[in-house]
Chain A
């Protein structure tokens, strides 16, 4: 870490309590390489409070009195975003009391297939040991997603900021989640469930007043679910559909033709086969480039260059580990997509700019004045396996590069065990 020299300049010799009261200090990150559409620029980045205040050519930053970080020879990127995780909803996957992804609840339709009204964010545990572990690999934001049923409930966007829900949760509900594909019954039933639920939400909006006066028949779905689905049907929040088989994606596109839905495909093992249709409808795809092989009959045509073909066709691409404990592998996924032919910048965008745009968090996913200061300083190419995170800021706060795992590492660094650590 000798390249990262900290120079405490005037005015910042405050105690911890004072610092808290004064808000985060301003930070000047000097001489970082900032990748972008037009190649890398060497810049100074000023962070003030929780935002980026200035991005200037190296040496040209005007801020004074900031804590300075020498970032020369280092790469600076926005914090990475995994848009489909269970972070903060799972601690140990096989220990049921630590798993909070299933939103089946009493106040919803009896089949358990529609859980639209339940929000996952109240279950979010910002003190989960997974969060620092994930952060150490440069992931600063995640969307945490419920599972189960055909309509699984709503997700939320978190910045992996610290121990308070209020600091971490950026938007909830963020998006509605559904799944199509193989199930006990015909997969056709899931299409109908989703279709009816979304149509009835609009119908509900149109007939609610009459219904409250008993002048019109009731609804198939509980009112709570209809209310939760209304912003989805109106295109106010995205509908993320977990679906892999090409024909299921086609079915989804056919079924929703002419609607105002903001569709996002998650999984999309065979999405490359219907890339032109996805591009026409501007439907983004969240995928895992590491999954390769006909792992089931919904993925017979899975191929490693899925992201490459989708991107070339104009489909916005994002990457996800679809995981909790593996979310830290995100940049390895991107590296593999580049290996298969995806442009390097597109791979970085897929983990930063694209999820911010698709999910409507305009102040995330880029390094520019006014953006939330979620920043990662890398020792080299962020996608390369030998590269390490050397600096990490979330909401302008520099976070220590520690986790429960680094504590174990330090305790067992030498044997016999050092019980003082």
Chain B
């Protein structure tokens, strides 16, 4: 069922840069308005592959008879999904009119899009948790915009396979939240490879991790600051102002003339919308303060992460289409988490916002479906009118949008990547297990088969039954 991928998949990083031109300043496009800017050319070099991504894609095959939950609002019970060349070729109700390849009878089971985690530290806070595997916070200065999670990502983290076994097919791996600006995050497509670059989701923009609230002021309070929330926001504004100046100084230059500065290049990407700003922030007033600073410099926030008080400002976040990536029920371990409520996801969704269940946890990423189910149950008990499909979007298309990849994944629609999960029962049941998990139509998890660990770390350990 494997076919050779298109060159688009192979050269996804490059494709991204071309597609991103639309958002870059028009003034630089004199002569050839489609040509990449100098900064975009530099970015392309910084993202060039060494190891080619696995070109294999899955299909043709047809899943027949399952309840198909598409995350578009449509639910086919029963329905079918046809996969050809790693893409969804057809999806619908009843029996596939033109099945392709082997027809797999999955009657009584459920098919969903592959789950997407908008906030993970797998690979940078890898198992086993020892000093040597802790790559999550470059906590040496409050602004380390120049570091990339990709460069600390260990592809042998056993947690990656566990995540896949929970139905996850894509995750945003972020630096930690010790710093005001922690560095770049990388979107990982769960196809095992020898290095992070080959696991990059083709065409996905980088994330830029920022943080507000208690963490930066706790970490740097005795190390030169910031010591307060005032200092946090001053730090963000100073960084944005410096990046604006650097951008102005380097616009219109040839790539070789740009004054290379890896910190500024990340911040410039954030300012120009080529990288997506992902902000760790809990309290409603902290989010509003961050937005004021972001507005001042024209920075767009893709999502607030954790965002326990998003429900207090859900009207504002929904109007701005800012994602709210949070847990179902975490709260209280810091003061800024004291007002968390289990209806947060549901209230945000009800207000028309982009609610997202994230994990921030090697355990939680194995059960995103259960977390969504809890959020849904809490919301319904409070009277929120939400469908199962609404809650499915919290773990599929809404995170896809926050990661800038919703044109490729997140729903079961014709033409999208065949990232999908076959569940043995309703995925919102605590008893549900992902039976088969596909990425690009390739079955990466098969519970019917004997398990061979993905991670080299787990090979040869003395683990008898």
- Stretch with Cβ within 8 A of A (4 or more), from B254-262, B268-276, B325-333: B325-333
Select the residue from B343, B377, B430, B464 with max chain A CB neighbours within 10 A. B430
**A293:B127 contact, CB within 8 angstroms:** yes
Q: A385 CA to B351 CA in the complex, in Å?
A: 23
Most buried by B among A92, A332, A339, A385: A385
Q: Which of A94, A338, A386, A417 meets B428, CB within 8 Å?
A: A386
- Complex Cα gap A412–B315 (Å): 11
- Residue contact B373 to A385, C-beta cutoff 8 Å: yes
Asked if residues A294 and B332 are in contact (CB atoms below 8 Å), the reply is: no
B215 to chain A, nearest CB (A): 10
Task: List the A side residues contacting B7 at CB < 8 Å.
Answer: none
Contact B129–A388 (Cβ < 8 Å): no
Interface size, A (range): 35 or more
CB neighbours (8 Å) of A324 from chain B are 332
* A residues 330-367 in Cβ contact with B at 8 Å: 332, 335-336, 338-339
Within the complex, what minimum Cβ distance (angstroms) separates B36 from chain A?
Answer: 41
- Residue in chain A with minimal CB distance to B380: A386
Contact of B431 among A300, A338, A405 (CB under 8 A): A338
B381 pairs with A388, CB closer than 8 A: yes
Smallest beta-carbon distance A105→chain B, Å: 25
Q: Are A273 and B464 in contact (CB under 8 A)?
A: yes
User: Taking CB as reference atom, which chain B residue is nearest A93?
Assistant: B333
B240-277 Cβ-contact flags toward A at 8 Å (1 or 0):
00000000000000000000000000000000000000
- Please tell me if the beta carbons of A291 and B363 are within 8 angstroms of each other in the complex: yes
- B314-342: CB near A (< 8 Å → 1, else 0) gives 11000000000000011111110011111
- Any B CB within 8 A of the CB of A206: no
Say yes or no: is B80 at the interface (Cβ < 8 Å to chain A): no
Determine how close the nearest CB of chain A comes to the CB of B405; give it in whole angstroms: 26
Chain B residues near A252: list those with CB within 8 A: none
Q: Is A408 an interface residue (CB 8 A)?
A: yes
B159 an interface residue at 8 Å Cβ cutoff? Answer: yes
B343 touches A409 (CB 8 A): yes
A412 to B430, CA, bound (A): 29
Q: How far is the CA of A339 from the CA of B424 in the complex (A)?
A: 11
B49-57, B137-145, B455-463: which lies at the A interface? B455-463
Q: Is the interface of A mostly helix, strand, loop or mixed?
A: loop
- Interchain CB contact under 8 A, A325 and B330: yes
Q: Are B430 and A383 within 8 A (Cβ)?
A: yes
The answer to whether A300 touches B129, judged by C-beta atoms less than 8 angstroms apart, is no
Give per-residue flags for A299-326: 1 if the beta carbon is below 8 A from chain B beta carbons, else 0.
Answer: 1110000000000000000000000111
Complex CA gap A299/B159 in Å reads: 13
**With A and B bound together, what is the CA distance between A92 and B458 in angstroms?**
37
Interface contact A290-B333, CB-CB below 8 Å:
no
**Known A292-B162, A335-B431: A412·B347 in contact at CB below 8 Å:** yes
Q: Is the CB of A92 within 8 A of B158?
A: no
Report the interface size for chain B: residues with CB under 8 A from the other chain.
51
Q: Check B6 for interface membership: any CB of A closer than 8 A.
A: no
Q: Indicate whether A93 sits within 8 Å of B382 (C-beta atoms), given known contacts A291-B363, A385-B373, A415-B314.
A: no
The 8 Å CB contact of B363, one of A273, A292, A335, A415, is A292
A6 at the interface (CB under 8 A from B): no
Q: Which of A95, A293, A336, A405 contacts B159 (CB 8 A)?
A: A293
Asked whether B431 lies within 8 Å of A94 as measured between CB atoms, the reply is no
Contact A325 B332 (CB under 8 A): yes
Judging by beta carbons under 8 Å apart, are B374 and A412 in contact?
Answer: no
Q: What are the residues of chain A within 8 A of B334 when measuring CB–CB?
A: 92-95
The CA-CA distance from A300 to B331 in the complex, in Å, is: 29
A413 lies within 8 A of chain B by Cβ: yes
- A95 to B235 CA separation, bound complex (whole angstroms): 25
**How far apart sit A294 and B382, CA to CA, in the bound complex (Å)?**
38
Cα distance A383–B374 when bound, in Å? 12
A223 contacts across to B, CB distance below 8 A: none
Q: Any chain B CB within 8 A of the CB of A278?
A: no
Q: CB within 8 A of B429: which of A296, A329, A384, A408? A: A384
- The answer to whether residues A405 and B162 also contact, given A339-B433, A415-B314 and a CB cut-off of 8 A, is no
B463 near A93: Cβ-Cβ < 8 Å = no
Cα–Cα distance between A148 and B159 once the two chains are bound (Å): 29
Q: What is the 8 Å Cβ interface bit string for chain B, positions 345-375, against chain A (1 contact, 0 not)?
A: 0010001000000000011001100100110
Name the residue of chain A whose CB is nearest to the CB of B312: A412
B148 at the interface (CB under 8 A from A): no
Question: What is A's interface to B at a CB cutoff of 8 Å?
Answer: 91-95, 129-130, 133, 273, 290-297, 299-301, 324-326, 328-329, 332, 335-336, 338-339, 383-388, 405-406, 408-409, 412-413, 415, 417
Beyond A293-B159, A386-B428, A405-B331, 20 additional pairs, beta carbon < 8 A: A92-B332, A92-B338, A94-B333, A95-B334, A290-B363, A293-B158, A293-B162, A295-B128, A296-B129, A325-B331, A326-B330, A384-B429, A385-B370, A385-B430, A405-B340, A409-B343, A412-B311, A413-B383, A415-B351, A417-B312
The contact sample of 29 A-B pairs, CB cut-off 8 A, is: A92-B338, A94-B218, A129-B332, A273-B464, A290-B363, A290-B366, A291-B363, A292-B162, A292-B366, A293-B362, A294-B158, A294-B457, A295-B362, A299-B128, A301-B463, A325-B333, A329-B329, A336-B370, A338-B431, A384-B430, A385-B370, A385-B373, A385-B429, A386-B377, A387-B377, A405-B331, A405-B341, A413-B382, A417-B312
State the 8 A-B residue pairs at the shortest beta-carbon distance, nearest first: A335-B430, A385-B373, A93-B333, A325-B332, A301-B463, A94-B334, A405-B341, A339-B431
> What residues make up the interface of B, taking CB atoms closer than 8 Å to A?
127-130, 158-159, 162, 214, 218, 311-312, 314-315, 329-335, 338-343, 347, 351, 362-363, 366-367, 370, 373-374, 376-377, 381-383, 428-433, 457-458, 461, 463-464
